[in-house]
Structure 1
Amino acid sequence: MSRDQKITKYPLYPLYPFPKNDLELEQDAKCSKLLHELMKKVWGGNFVSPIEQELKNKKDFKVLDVGCGTTCSWILELSKTYPLAKFIGLDLLTPLLPKDFSQNNLQFVQSDILKGLPFEDGSIDFVHMRCLTAAFTERQWEEVVIKELVRVCKPGGWIELLEIDVDGKSLGPTSKRIISACMAKFENRGVNGLISEEIPEFFESTNQVEIYAEEKYSPIGNWGDELGKLALDFFVSIFSSSDELIEWIKLII
């Protein structure tokens, strides 16, 4: 798509830095696919919760992917792998589905979690959400997002969140300047770039869940073999996916 083509504005959260038009949406789709492959490599699969047997054998086992994105990479793959389960993808935007899409066990809902998830209490067996650090303020995470995830999850069900710490580890001077600028911008918007450190406490405050937290590290760069190269491609894609992010970087490098 060329820069002189029609640009459509998309109604995303005011805090969220991408995507906001057709051009950014196209780049974001590439970024989302890279993210999906990166997370699979880092975590050794599409999920860590012990639900494999239920996905395989339990008819109508319900899975909700909150913020599935327009590419829906995670939920598309799982719906094909586990045909007995029922999958729901939820996002603010309409999904960009493959032309040959015909998954009877997968449906999409266009909705905003901040206005309440459109599902009954205790109706979902497995709730999944990832990489939405920049979408919500810390207050929204604590007062709305976490509580909604817990509300719709069945007793004995599972909620799995995956967030990437924005600050990174062992960064070089240029990367440190970029990350510092992003963290400052997030802070001005009320966004906590290290919200993953607070999420366990938010869950604990509901008094309804048992909590398990785990950290994984990934190299970023060609020195890190296949995983490092994939991570580099992903982060380069992130910082070129939004005009706003590009402008941030121009100010500091």
Structure 2
Amino acid sequence: MAIEYFRHAHHHTDRSDMDPNDPYHSDDDGTSSDTSEDVIEVPQDEIPDYFQERDGRLFHSHGSSPYPLPVDAEEHQRQNGLNTLLRRLIGDLFVGPVRELLAFAPGEQRRVVDLGTGTGQWVLDMAREFPHVRFHGVDIVPIATRYPPHNVRFEMHNIMEPFWYANGSVDFVHARSISMAIRDYRALLQEVGRILRRGGLFVSIEWGRFPAMEDGSDVAIRAPRAYAFFSAIRETLRVRRGIEPIASSIPRFLEETRQFTDIQTQRFQAPIGEWPTDPARKEMGREFREMMILYANSMKAVLQEGPFTLLADALVEGYIRDISSVPGIVSTCFTVHARRV
């Protein structure tokens, strides 16, 4: 049985003469040709080659990608849980004028690319809401569903490398929680600008790398173990993988490209723990704490590879104690949306 997952063929493609209405030299219906030299189907027996096991957890096997988190069932649970919680936090599947942009127009095929698609849940939710839109979910490993709906295709690609989409062929690029998979975000934005059509939309959603206190007090004093955990994570990612925290810098990066306009930002704070008095926020805080416990356990593997190896267990346990006992801890979500000039 065929597995509907695709990857880029390993050869140079000159994108300058590609049809901007079709990112794959595709057939008239917008689907890839069976004889395309650019995107090929992944045989079922090759799927295990994209993974490696370490200390009982499953990771990607792509040596050049800095992405540190596991890609196993426990991580899938966290990603899908965060997808649901984020939708509640921001009030929708996205920020910005997405419905206006993706509105049905006779004779036009709208296209959306989701970078770092993970389990593909966002793409699947969007595909149900916009059945006339063609969605491409991109990730370094094949962990999304292998049998997507008719308007979805999942593809394997390292987002640190140039995309194979044609110039000006995409209406909307969605990038959520990809900052640990990319070392040069500015270079990524240049590629995003290349594939977006004029007036196309870019949306970034990133979580901050440090917790905060809802009342603005010093988290290092109020929740010192949580602060120590994220300090160690930040230093390990910087030293071992060349990853810097960039969530709050993305608007400036967009400005520097000179390819984007109407850059708009928002910040949302998600409670961690059951301390809120409002019932809806209390429930969100409880569920978000569960997601952060999964995150901490996944990040233990990162801490064990750097200067905090001997402290990894204590740092994780201390963080979990703080988010289980200290009221007022929040996580900040930074959103940005901008139009292609």
Normalising by structure 2, we get a TM-score of: 0.65
2:266 corresponds in structure 1 to 214
2:136 corresponds in structure 1 to 88
The alpha-carbon deviation at position 65 of structure 1 amounts to: 0.2
Structure-1 separation of matches of 2:258 and 2:202:
14
Residue deviations 1:92-137 (CA, integer Å, cap 9, x gap)? 1113317xx4511111111112221110111110100111222222
Stretches of structure 1 lacking an aligned partner (at least 5 in a row): none
The alpha-carbon deviation at position 217 of structure 1 amounts to: 1.0
8 Å contact from structure 1 (residues 63, 88) kept in 2: yes
2:30 corresponds in structure 1 to none
* Equivalent residue in structure 1 for 2:117, among 46, 68, 90: 68
2:74 corresponds in structure 1 to 27
* Secondary structure of the structure 1 residue equivalent to 2:268: coil
2:88 corresponds in structure 1 to 41
Residue deviations 1:143-199 (CA, integer Å, cap 9, x gap)? x21111111111001000001111121241211111111111122132222x01211
Larger radius of gyration: 2
1:169 corresponds in structure 2 to 212
8 Å contact from structure 1 (residues 31, 241) kept in 2: no
* Secondary structure of the structure 1 residue equivalent to 2:259: coil
The alpha-carbon deviation at position 16 of structure 1 amounts to: 1.9
Report the CA distance shift for 1:197/1:102 in structure 2 as closer, same or farther (over 3 A).
closer
Residue deviations 1:22-75 (CA, integer Å, cap 9, x gap)? xx5111111110110121111101111212144342352111101101x10100
The alpha-carbon deviation at position 245 of structure 1 amounts to: 4.0
Structure-2 separation of matches of 1:36 and 1:232:
14
1:118 corresponds in structure 2 to 164
* Equivalent residue in structure 1 for 2:283, among 214, 221, 226: 226
* Secondary structure of the structure 1 residue equivalent to 2:270: coil
The alpha-carbon deviation at position 232 of structure 1 amounts to: 0.8
1:16 corresponds in structure 2 to 67
Q: Is 1:236–2:293 an aligned residue pair? A: yes
* Equivalent residue in structure 1 for 2:178, among 132, 140, 158: 132
8 Å contact from structure 2 (residues 236, 303) kept in 1: no
Structure-1 separation of matches of 2:298 and 2:272:
18
* Secondary structure of the structure 1 residue equivalent to 2:271: coil
Report the CA distance shift for 1:129/1:9 in structure 2 as closer, same or farther (over 3 A).
closer
8 Å contact from structure 2 (residues 177, 207) kept in 1: yes
Residue deviations 1:206-230 (CA, integer Å, cap 9, x gap)? 1111111111111111113122112
1:149 corresponds in structure 2 to 192
8 Å contact from structure 2 (residues 174, 204) kept in 1: yes
Aligned AA for 1:119?
Answer: Y
* Secondary structure of the structure 2 residue equivalent to 1:192: coil
* Equivalent residue in structure 1 for 2:97, among 33, 40, 50: 50
Structure-1 separation of matches of 2:56 and 2:95:
42
* Secondary structure of the structure 2 residue equivalent to 1:57: coil
Between Structure 1 and Structure 2, the one with more helix by share is 1
Between Structure 1 and Structure 2, the one with more strand by share is 2
Aligned AA for 1:232?
Answer: R
Aligned AA for 1:180?
Answer: S
Residue deviations 1:78-103 (CA, integer Å, cap 9, x gap)? 111211111111111113317xx451
Percentage identity across aligned positions? 24
What is the CA RMSD across the aligned residues, in angstroms?
2.4
Normalising by structure 1, we get a TM-score of: 0.86
1:204 corresponds in structure 2 to 255
Q: Is 1:250–2:299 an aligned residue pair? A: no
Structure-1 separation of matches of 2:260 and 2:178:
21
